[in-house]
Amino acid sequence: MVVTDDLLTKIADVLKAMADPTRLKILHSLHGGERCVSDILASVGGSQANISKHLSVLKRAGLVDCRRDGLNVYYRIIDEGVFTICSNVCDSLEIRLDREHQTVVAGRQQMEAREQPD
């Protein structure tokens, strides 16, 4: 597979769209299904203008889509792969934190062993 600049740009655009805590909250609030903006706002917090701005970024990245029903706009996930990405990042963080924890435990044990009188 040839990795083109165009492909790398598309990947970076998706990752940039996900690289914000508020947008991740929005995505996770939509994990259970379609929701209107007011429901997303109640779940995520912030202002309606701010949530709308974040939803626009997610839509441009092809992660969510929307439909209008009267006065309400309903958003839904159109790329479930976002949750695979989040899960993989969580797995990686867990492994890294476990390694760091093990390093601290081993270091503490070595320090305590040196403090013990012979």
Q: Are 12 and 23 within 8 A, CB to CB?
A: no
Torsion angles phi and psi, residue 109, rounded to 5: -60, -40
Distances (CA, A) of 38 to 75, 76, 108, 110, 116: 11, 14, 50, 55, 62
**DSSP β-bridge partners for residue 35:** 75
d(CA 64, CA 2): 28
Q: Which amino acid is at 86?
A: C
The per-residue pLDDT for range 19-78, each reduced to its tens digit, is: 999 999 999 999 989 999 999 999 999 999 999 999 999 999 999 999 999 999 999 999
Q: What is the pTM of this model?
A: 0.81
Residue 33 corresponds to which tokens in the numbers above? 């299904």
